[in-house]
């Protein structure tokens, strides 16, 4: 199989779909890999590094989209990319289709077979290809939130850890999953006062067992959200409904009750965001103000630490990429029910139920779409 790796084109996105060691593994399995020139240069992987492991270098993305059997990316394809996809071509990347109608219709029009990292599952009900970026985003969320609290950046001038004689800042994390847990760990490390809200009593018990009185683990209700968010210095939205748009758990009315200079960080922005006032931003212009509250809603947060993120992502995606290349997508999806959950579109059909529901489109099972 000919596998293509185009350079990412989103604002300040330096991650790359395959690092040289991953390319070497795929070539070892008998495949060819073509990488767009400078695709990994932003994180220290040169064209020479890719050539050294057997890849060929393409001068333009159009060469890759025109020739490759499988496209491996990081971020969802932009319009200039999905218009180059063709029927039956395999796309393996993050998609986040539920809040993105243009991309959804673009993929359907192309007829490509699109497998989304974020909906591939595992035996434990987890999302193994989303997990590494959730870990990174959770950790980053506290860094950027603490920075946004600086007075010079529009914040209230609160130091999350406080100092002797001054109370620490209050961090509220909505969602106790992977990203929320990593955010809590970082916030506790800064000695902030940390509260995690979640609707799973099992997860709350796990958090309590792990961290005890270092944090509050609170069952999430509207009343609890209103109580803790209105009194927070930093609120981190870490809610995930796999494949679906994030629920709007913090209303504008509630935001109006927060102290001026407080900060909201929306990790869920890739799925539309969990704050009513959220809108996607970029690393170039990451924050904006609504009613005196600073919002950080960068849609590719892990891209801020692109080298760490890329290596972590490749560690997770490589076995699946090898399976897809070795078997072809039809057999790979037939053999692995968890990979089958990752199939979002195929030959003009929506094969992910939450995406179909979000855009009022017909849902077709992966088995039917691929004739399994």
Residue range 32-45, pLDDT digits in tens: 999 999 999 999 99
Q: How far is CA 191 from the centre of its chain?
A: 27
Query: What is the pLDDT averaged over residues 131-148?
Result: 97
Confidence class for position 275, pLDDT limits 50, 70, 90: very high
- Say if residue 240's pLDDT is above 90: no
Residue 44 has what pLDDT? 97
CA atoms of 301 and 124, how far apart (whole Å): 26
Both structure tokens of 317? 């995606």
CB 195 within 8 Å of CB 213? no
Percentage of the chain lying above the pLDDT 90 cut: 96
What is the model's pTM? 0.90
The 10s digit of each residue's pLDDT in 221-232 is 999 999 999 999
pLDDT over 90 at 316, yes or no: yes
The region of weakest confidence among 75-84, 136-145, 166-175, 239-248 is: 239-248
Confidence class for position 363, pLDDT limits 50, 70, 90: very high
Catalytic residue numbers? Answer: 96, 270
Three-state DSSP state, 181 = helix
Q: What per-residue confidence (pLDDT) applies to 24? A: 98
Rounded-to-integer distance, Cα 276 and Cα 111, Å: 34
Backbone φ and ψ for 341, nearest 5 degrees, come out as -65, -20
Q: Percent helix, strand and coil across the chain, each rounded to 5?
A: 40, 20, 40
Residue 169 burial class via C-beta count within 10 angstroms: exposed 0-12, middle 13-18, buried 19 and up = buried
Average pLDDT, the chain: 96
Q: How far apart are CA 114 and CA 341, in angstroms?
A: 11
* pLDDT score at 323: 98
Mean pLDDT, range 100-104, rounded to an integer: 97
Query: Between residues 49 and 242, which one has the greater pLDDT?
Result: 49
Of 135-149, 233-247, 265-279, 335-349, the poorest mean pLDDT is in 233-247
Q: Within 10 A of 360 (CB to CB), how many other CB atoms are there?
A: 7
Q: How confident is the model at residue 372 (pLDDT cuts 50, 70, 90)?
A: confident
Res 250 pLDDT > 90: yes
Q: What is the pLDDT of residue 125?
A: 86
Q: Are 291 and 55 in contact (CB under 8 A)?
A: no
Neighbour tally for 118: CB within 10 Å: 23
pLDDT tens figures, 105-136: 999 999 999 999 999 999 988 999 999 999 99
C-alpha closest to that of 204 among 195, 217, 191, 214 = 217
- Residue 273 above 90 pLDDT? yes
The arithmetic mean of pLDDT across residues 260-280, rounded, is 96
pLDDT for 243 = 79
40-90 pLDDT, tens digit per residue, is 999 999 999 999 999 999 999 999 999 999 999 999 999 999 999 999 999
pLDDT at residue 242, as a whole number: 80
pLDDT of 216 higher than 90: yes
């Amino acid at each position: 199989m000919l596998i293509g790796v185009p350079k990412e084109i989103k604002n300040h996105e330096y991650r790359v779909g395959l690092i040289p060691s991953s390319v070497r593994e795929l070539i070892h399995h008998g495949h060819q890999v073509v990488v767009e020139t400078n695709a990994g240069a932003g994180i220290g992987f040169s064209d020479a590094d890719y050539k050294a492991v057997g890849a060929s270098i393409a001068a333009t993305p159009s060469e890759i989209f025109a020739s490759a059997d499988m496209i491996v990316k990081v971020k969802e394809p932009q319009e200039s990319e999905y218009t180059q996809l063709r029927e039956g071509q395999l796309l393996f990347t993050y998609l986040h289709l539920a809040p993105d109608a243009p991309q959804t219709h673009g993929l359907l029009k192309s007829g490509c077979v699109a497998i989304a990292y974020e909906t591939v599952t595992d035996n434990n009900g987890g999302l193994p290809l989303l997990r590494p970026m959730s870990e990174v985003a959770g950790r980053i969320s506290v860094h950027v939130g603490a920075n946004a609290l600086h007075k010079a950046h529009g914040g209230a001038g609160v130091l999350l850890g406080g100092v002797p004689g001054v109370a620490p800042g209050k961090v509220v994390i909505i969602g106790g999953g992977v990203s929320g847990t990593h955010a809590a760990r970082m916030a506790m490390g800064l000695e902030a006062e940390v509260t995690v809200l979640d609707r799973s009593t099992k997860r709350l018990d796990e958090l309590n067992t792990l961290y005890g009185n270092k944090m509050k683990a609170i069952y999430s209700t509207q009343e609890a959200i209103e109580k803790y968010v209105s009194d927070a210095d930093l609120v981190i939205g870490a809610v995930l409904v796999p494949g679906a748009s994030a629920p709007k758990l913090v209303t504008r009315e509630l935001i109006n009750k927060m102290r001026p200079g407080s900060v909201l960080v929306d990790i869920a922005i890739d799925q539309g965001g969990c704050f009513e006032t959220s809108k996607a931003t970029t690393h170039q212009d990451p924050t904006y103000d609504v009613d005196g509250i600073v919002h950080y809603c960068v849609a590719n947060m892990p891209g801020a630490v692109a080298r760490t993120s890329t290596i972590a992502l490749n560690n997770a995606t490589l076995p699946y990429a090898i399976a897809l290349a070795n078997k072809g997508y039809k057999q790979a999806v037939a053999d692995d029910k968890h990979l089958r959950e990752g199939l979002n579109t195929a030959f003009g059909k929506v094969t992910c139920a939450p995406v179909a529901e979000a855009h009022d489109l017909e849902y077709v099972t992966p088995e039917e779409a691929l004739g399994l």
